[in-house]
């Protein structure tokens, strides 16, 4: 599509797993470091993130700011078991879980390139009590929509609609990039274009179909 017409006016990025390396790698390092039985974590995550689970699981409440990080840490620790039978220390669980997360410079570079091409670049993130690099984000992204700050969460339509309102653009002119399929489907359900992120090269190629100046 080189030389074609630009099909979008804005790109909105997720944070964890898109603008950072894969979250699963940080989780794997934490499980190994703390000696946690991976099956206990997988079982809990599946139950709390299940599409069939009603809103109100600890993860949902954390994402919308209804639970504090300390409250969530205690609830998660209570569900986990260690390989040697010790209880999981409940203080700082999420800090340890995200300790290996690193910003992905290729993705930040892609966002900056899009902005230099004249597109709006935004951020839409479900927060798990994350400490965001706000100075860096504020300098590059507008708008920034973080679930706990607005009391809404992906993949619900309301948070995508709020993001579109802040962009002041129609859904069809905005593309959303996320590493979780339910969130990609949620964006598409409100009329946005969406890309399922797997790695920077693949995402860049997918965006190149919509923004020919990238190719």
Question: Is there a single domain that holds both residue 125 and residue 192?
Answer: yes
Inside any domain, residue 3: no
Distance separating alpha carbons of residues 123 and 137, to the nearest angstrom = 8
How many structural domains is the chain composed of? 2
Inside any domain, residue 2: no
Question: Is there a single domain that holds both residue 166 and residue 188?
Answer: yes
Q: Kindly give, in sequence order, each residue whose CB lies less than 8 Å from that of residue 169, ignoring residues fewer than 6 positions away.
A: 9, 10, 120
The whole-model pTM stands at: 0.93
- DSSP letter string over 46-109? HHHH-TTSPTTSHHHHHHTTSS-HHHHHHHHHHH--BTTSPPPP-TTHHHHHTTT--B-HHHHH
Question: Is there a single domain that holds both residue 93 and residue 133?
Answer: no
Domain boundary among 45, 78, 97: 97
Question: Is there a single domain that holds both residue 106 and residue 81?
Answer: no
Q: How many angstroms separate the Cα of 178 from the Cα of each of 40, 84, 130? A: 26, 36, 17
Question: Is there a single domain that holds both residue 175 and residue 115?
Answer: yes
What confidence score (pLDDT) does residue 114 get?
Answer: 98
Q: Kindly give, in sequence order, each residue whose CB lies less than 8 Å from that of residue 202, ignoring residues fewer than 6 positions away.
A: none
pLDDT tens for each residue of the chain, 215 residues long: 445 788 999 999 999 999 999 999 999 999 999 999 999 999 999 999 876 666 689 999 999 999 999 999 999 999 999 999 999 999 999 999 999 999 999 999 999 999 999 999 999 999 998 889 999 999 999 999 999 999 999 999 999 999 999 999 999 999 999 999 999 999 999 999 999 999 999 999 999 999 999 97
CATH number for the domain spanning 154: value is 3.40.50.1000
Please, what is the Cα angle at 156 between 150 and 162, to 5 degrees? 45
Question: Is there a single domain that holds both residue 120 and residue 92?
Answer: no
- Domain span at residue 62 reads 23-97
Question: Is there a single domain that holds both residue 30 and residue 91?
Answer: yes
Inside any domain, residue 210: yes
Question: Is there a single domain that holds both residue 59 and residue 155?
Answer: no
Q: How far apart are the first and last CA of the chain?
A: 8
Distance separating alpha carbons of residues 140 and 122, to the nearest angstrom = 8
Domain boundary among 97, 118, 141: 97
Question: Is there a single domain that holds both residue 197 and residue 147?
Answer: yes
Question: Is there a single domain that holds both residue 112 and residue 191?
Answer: yes
């Amino acid at each position: 599509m080189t030389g074609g017409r630009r099909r979008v006016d804005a790109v909105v990025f997720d944070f964890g797993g898109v603008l950072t390396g894969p979250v699963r790698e940080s989780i794997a390092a934490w499980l190994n470091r703390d000696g946690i039985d991976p099956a206990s974590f997988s079982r809990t995550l599946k139950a709390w993130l299940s599409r069939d689970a009603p809103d109100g699981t600890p993860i949902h409440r954390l994402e919308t700011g209804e639970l504090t990080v300390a409250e969530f840490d205690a609830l998660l620790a209570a569900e986990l078991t260690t390989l040697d039978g010790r209880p999981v220390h409940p203080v700082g669980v999420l800090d340890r879980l995200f300790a290996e997360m690193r910003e992905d410079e290729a993705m930040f570079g892609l966002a900056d390139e899009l902005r230099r091409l004249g597109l709006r670049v935004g951020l839409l993130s479900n927060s798990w009590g994350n400490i965001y690099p706000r100075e860096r984000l504020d300098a590059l992204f507008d708008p920034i929509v973080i679930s706990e700050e607005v009391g809404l969460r992906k993949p619900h339509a309301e948070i995508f609609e709020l993001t579109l309102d802040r962009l002041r653009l129609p859904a069809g002119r905005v593309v959303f990039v996320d590493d979780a399929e339910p969130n990609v489907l949620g964006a598409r359900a409100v009329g946005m274009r969406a890309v399922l992120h797997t790695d920077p090269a693949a995402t860049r190629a997918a965006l190149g179909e919509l923004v020919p100046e990238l190719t």
